[in-house]
Amino acid sequence: MRIITGKARGLQLTVPKTYDVRPTADRVKESVFNIIGSKIIGAEVLDLFAGTGNLGLESWSRGAKAITFIDESKESLRLVKSNIAKCRAEADCTVVKGSAPQVAERLAREGRRFDFAFCDPPYNKGWVQQIIAVLGSTPFLTEGGYLVVERSAHDELPTLPAGCELVRSSRYGETIVDFILYNIL
C-alpha cells in the first residue's frame, strides 16, 4: 500500500500484520481521488475508521490542509501514527481514539465541519448506517461537503436524510464507493 501521488508520492505505508484492518485497494483509492480531483486542495478531511490512515494521508499528500483520523483500535491508531510520521505530516494531522459515530457527533457539536469525510468501516456491521444517521442529526460536513462511503455490495445504503444526495456510486468488484453530497436545506 502506497501514497499514489502528491508530496508523499510513492511512500510505502505500514500495513497491519493481521486481517483486522482492510485497507482500501490502491486501484479503488486512485479512482476515488480521480473523482475528487482538485477539490481536495485546502480541504479539512475526516478519516472515519482510519485503519492505517491510507485515505487521510492520500488526501494530505494531494494538498488537504488538515486531517482528523478516528479509530477505536489501539493497533490501528499505532499504524496511523506511524504512517503520519513516515509522511512527516504531524503538523497537519490529529488522531482521536473512539467510536467513529460518537466522535463525529462530538466534533460536530463542538462546531467542527469537514469538506470531506471518508467512511471505510468494517463491512456489513451497520457502521455506514450509523454514520449517515449522525450526519442527518448532527452534521459534521460543511455545506457542499462530501461523505465518501466504501461499502460491500451486500451492505445496503440506507435512505439518506434531508440535505444529503447520492451524486455518484461506482462498483469495483464486491466494493461500492458512494459520494454523498451534503447541502443545508
Report the distance separating Cα 21 and Cα 6, nearest Å: 25
Angle of helix 127-137 relative to helix 100-109, nearest 10 degrees, comes to: 10
For the chain, which residues make up each domain, given as ranges? 26-182
Rounded Cα–Cα distance for residues 52 and 84 (Å): 9
Strands annotated E in 40-124: 44-48, 66-71, 93-97, 114-119
Burial class of residue 140 (count of CB atoms within 10 Å of its CB; 0-12, 13-18, 19+):
buried
pLDDT tens digits, one per residue of 102-115? 999 999 999 999 99
The string of pLDDT tens digits covering residues 32-74 is 999 999 999 999 999 999 999 999 999 999 999 999 999 999 9
Whether the per-residue pLDDT at 21 is higher than 70: the answer is no
Cα gap 84→99, rounded to integer Å = 20
The highest-level CATH class for domain 26-182 is alpha beta
* Total-model pTM: 0.92
